[in-house]
């Protein structure tokens, strides 16, 4: 081996080795900025590569040369894979790769590196030739499996060019410089893969390939440092903005969607086939666009997603670059569907409370007037029999007044505890309180869903069940079932018994205040409680009583709390 040749290769290798060590030190210490997290691993691989290459150069044993070559070859495949991951990361705004795809690619890369290093049964490299041309280097004879591994390296290198270039052409942002550098570096990476896998030069392709890989590492290091100077880090976006529950959408000056986080993609899945690059006015109704057009002002818009009309508050603010140059507009949409539900329900509840208080005051004054009148008559009359009749009237008035007080106690807190309530829990609580199992057979088929309602819904259901126990003559069986029942807009709760039923001309009267055999408050209160959650109740039985409650679609969701119907 020529001393001049080995001296040149050693000096050049040391220069590249020092460059890789400097990048590794800079990446770990963050002395000059924070590069991409994979840069340090690529630098480690190249440091190992140049050390292994120098060992191969200085060794006279063919077995050592062959082992070092396989190690360097495996490191080369790992290096192009890491380069592809960086390209995916920096270009993922217009090209989001799912985690499953990355895991599959990682598995393929691990298999390729293992085959390159182990070379099972000589399937990758069948034999080695040591060439002495002023200095010695290794030329492998490829086996039948080599084509697959070489194809992997070339595909990784090609995508390292294509992905940043595609991201560059499909979006407008300050990280164009980084995308340009990485895409250009991909050509160097591709050239290095050619030198490594094909004997196309008169010399050592391994050294040329390692040199080109080092150039690519320098480009990526400088690009990612430059990017983070501008405080834009794709890693932060993917782990920060994508994990937010709020919808984040950025529009470029031409009205196209330049960025959207994962909640935005899920929300607009039914609107956009591909959200990035689309135009908002192509899919959103004009009133939504108008509401979203006011700077820094929170507006409310309604958007349909998965068949559900959802309400969002919108905050709009401009995106500006260096020198005040307008880069686009950002929108943050925060779902307030539950809040709107709550406000509406509280407003209805306050109206109900005012109505109930008015009724209570009116009825209480009536009873007090009756008590006062009969008390005066009882004091004025001398006939003992008449006095006893007047006292009975007074006692009856007192009992009715007591009933009003108890009624007021039963709806205390109405409208103050609105929330998603599990329907099964409601029925179990109502049945336990009514203690109806000892008197009647219960057949219950209640789905595991939540309804948005007042906490007193348990009292409403109890009133219906208690009504069947107390007033359904001859009833021995109660059937409870829930479901959509061929309706897309209303969720039904059906409670029926096999008693004598309710006469046709009384089916509406039973829900009026004071109508009934006793206080007349039970079903009236039930109706008032259900109306707070925009639910309706009616009776439609023929042979027996059949009460039907319907909840609107937006007030029902499954137990997993991830789907509002």
Confidence category of residue 286, pLDDT binned at 50, 70, 90: low
Contacts (Cβ under 8 Å, ≥6 apart) of 113: 74, 77, 78
Secondary structure letter of residue 97 according to DSSP: P
Kind of pairing, strands 477-483 and 441-445?
parallel
Taking residues 313-324, what's their average pLDDT? 71
Report residue 145 as tokens: 């499996």
Predicted confidence (pLDDT) per residue in 524-564, tens digit:
778 877 887 788 899 888 888 889 999 988 788 875 444 44
Closest CA to 79 of 56, 126, 105, 46: 46
Is residue 99 predicted with pLDDT exceeding 60? yes
CATH number, span 417-565: 3.30.565.10
Residue count of the chain: 565
- The domain locations on the chain are 3-233, 240-335, 343-416, 417-565
Give me the phi and psi of 414, to 5 degrees please.
-60, 125
The CATH fold assigned to 343-416 is Helix Hairpins (1.10.287)
Is residue 232 predicted with pLDDT exceeding 80? no
Q: Which residue has the higher pLDDT, 10 or 78?
A: 78
Confidence category of residue 331, pLDDT binned at 50, 70, 90: confident
SS3 of 353-418: the string is HHHHHHHHHHHHHHHHHHHHHHHHHHHHCCCHHHHHHHHHHHHHHHHHHHHHHHHHHHCCCCCCCE
Predicted confidence (pLDDT) per residue in 46-60, tens digit:
999 999 988 887 887
Predicted confidence (pLDDT) per residue in 468-494, tens digit:
766 656 678 889 999 888 777 789 999
The b/e string for 396-409 (b: 16+ C-beta within 10 A; e otherwise) is: ebeebbebbeebee
Report residue 226 as tokens: 């430059």
Is residue 120 predicted with pLDDT exceeding 60? yes
Is residue 110 predicted with pLDDT exceeding 90? yes
Contacts (Cβ under 8 Å, ≥6 apart) of 455: 413, 417, 418, 419, 421
The pLDDT, as a whole number, for residue 3 is 63
Q: Which residue has the higher pLDDT, 197 or 6?
A: 6
What span, in angstroms and rounded, lies between the C-alpha atoms of 146 and 150?
6
Please report, for residues 263, 461, 464, the alpha-carbon distance to residue 526 in angstroms, rounded to integers and kept in the order given. Answer: 39, 7, 8
Please report, for residues 43, 65, 134, 531, the alpha-carbon distance to residue 52 in angstroms, rounded to integers and kept in the order given. Answer: 14, 9, 20, 78
Q: Which residue has the higher pLDDT, 133 or 380?
A: 380
What span, in angstroms and rounded, lies between the C-alpha atoms of 439 and 472?
12
Closest CA to 45 of 89, 128, 109: 109
* Pure H helices in 30-61: 39-58
The CATH fold assigned to 240-335 is Beta-Lactamase (3.30.450)
Q: Which CATH class is domain 3-233?
A: mainly alpha
- Contact present, 254 and 271 (Cβ < 8 Å): no
Is residue 426 predicted with pLDDT exceeding 80? yes
- Contact present, 371 and 397 (Cβ < 8 Å): yes
Is residue 440 predicted with pLDDT exceeding 50? yes
The β-bridge partners of 317 are 330
Confidence category of residue 74, pLDDT binned at 50, 70, 90: very high
10 Å Cβ neighbour count for 208? 17
The b/e string for 255-294 (b: 16+ C-beta within 10 A; e otherwise) is: ebbbbbbebbbebbeeebeebbebebeeebeeebeebbee
Taking residues 265-286, what's their average pLDDT? 58
Say which range, 225-239, 241-255, 362-376, has the weakest mean pLDDT. 225-239
The pLDDT, as a whole number, for residue 65 is 85
**Mean predicted lDDT score pLDDT of the chain:** 76
Predicted confidence (pLDDT) per residue in 121-154, tens digit:
888 888 888 777 666 677 778 888 888 988 998 8
């Amino acid at each position: 081996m020529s001393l001049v040749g080995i001296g040149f290769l050693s000096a050049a290798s040391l220069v590249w080795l020092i460059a890789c060590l400097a990048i590794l030190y800079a990446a770990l210490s963050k002395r000059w900025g924070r590069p991409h997290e994979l840069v340090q691993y690529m630098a480690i691989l190249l440091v190992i590569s140049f050390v292994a290459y120098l060992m191969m150069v200085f060794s006279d044993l063919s077995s050592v040369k062959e082992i070092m070559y396989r190690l360097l070859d495996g490191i080369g495949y790992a290096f192009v894979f890491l380069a592809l991951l960086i390209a995916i990361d920096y270009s993922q705004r217009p090209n989001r790769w799912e985690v499953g795809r990355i895991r599959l690619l990682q598995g393929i890369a691990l298999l390729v590196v293992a085959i390159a290093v182990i070379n099972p049964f000589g399937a990758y490299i069948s034999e080695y030739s040591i060439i002495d041309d002023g200095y010695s280097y290794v030329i492998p004879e490829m086996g039948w499996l080599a084509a697959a591994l070489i194809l992997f390296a070339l595909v990784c290198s090609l995508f390292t060019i294509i992905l940043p270039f595609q991201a560059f052409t499909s979006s407008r942002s300050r990280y164009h410089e980084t995308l340009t550098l990485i895409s250009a570096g991909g050509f160097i990476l591709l050239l290095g893969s050619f030198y490594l896998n094909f004997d196309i030069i008169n010399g050592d392709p391994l050294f040329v390939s390692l040199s080109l890989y080092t150039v690519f590492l320098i480009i990526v290091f400088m690009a990612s440092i430059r990017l983070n100077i501008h405080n834009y880090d794709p890693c932060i976006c993917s782990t920060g903005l994508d994990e937010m529950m709020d919808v984040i959408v950025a529009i470029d000056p031409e009205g196209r969607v330049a960025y959207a986080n994962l909640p935005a993609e899920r929300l607009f899945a039914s609107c956009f086939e591909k959200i990035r690059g689309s135009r908002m006015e192509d899919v959103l109704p004009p009133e939504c666009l108008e509401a979203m057009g006011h700077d820094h002002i929170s507006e409310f818009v309604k958007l349909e997603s998965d068949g559900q009309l959802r309400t969002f508050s919108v905050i709009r603010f401009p995106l500006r670059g260096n020198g005040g140059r307008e880069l686009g507009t950002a929108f943050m949409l925060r779902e307030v569907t539950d809040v709107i539900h709550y406000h509406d329900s509280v407003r209805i509840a306050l109206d109900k409370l005012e109505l109930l208080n008015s009724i209570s005051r009116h009825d209480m004054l009536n009873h007090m007037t009756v008590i006062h009148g009969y008390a005066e008559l009882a004091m004025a009359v001398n006939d003992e029999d008449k006095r006893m009749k007047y006292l009975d009237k007074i006692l009856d008035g007192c009992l009715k007044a007591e009933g009003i007080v108890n009624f007021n106690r039963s709806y205390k807190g109405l409208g103050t505890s609105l929330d998603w309530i599990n329907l099964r829990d409601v029925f179990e609580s109502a049945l336990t309180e009514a203690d109806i199992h000892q008197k009647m057979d219960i057949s219950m088929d209640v789905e595991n869903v939540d309804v948005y309602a007042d906490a007193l819904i348990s009292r409403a259901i109890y009133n219906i069940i208690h009504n069947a126990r107390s007033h359904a003559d001859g009833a021995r069986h109660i059937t409870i079932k829930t479901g959509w029942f061929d309706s897309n807009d209303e969720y039904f709760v059906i409670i029926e018994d096999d008693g004598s039923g309710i006469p046709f001309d009384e089916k509406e009267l039973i829900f009026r205040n004071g109508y009934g055999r006793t206080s007349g408050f039970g079903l009236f209160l039930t109706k008032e409680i259900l109306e707070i959650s925009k639910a309706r109740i009616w009776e439609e039985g023929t042979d027996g009583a059949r009460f039907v409650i319907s909840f609107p679609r937006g007030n029902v969701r499954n137990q997993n709390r991830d789907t509002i119907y």
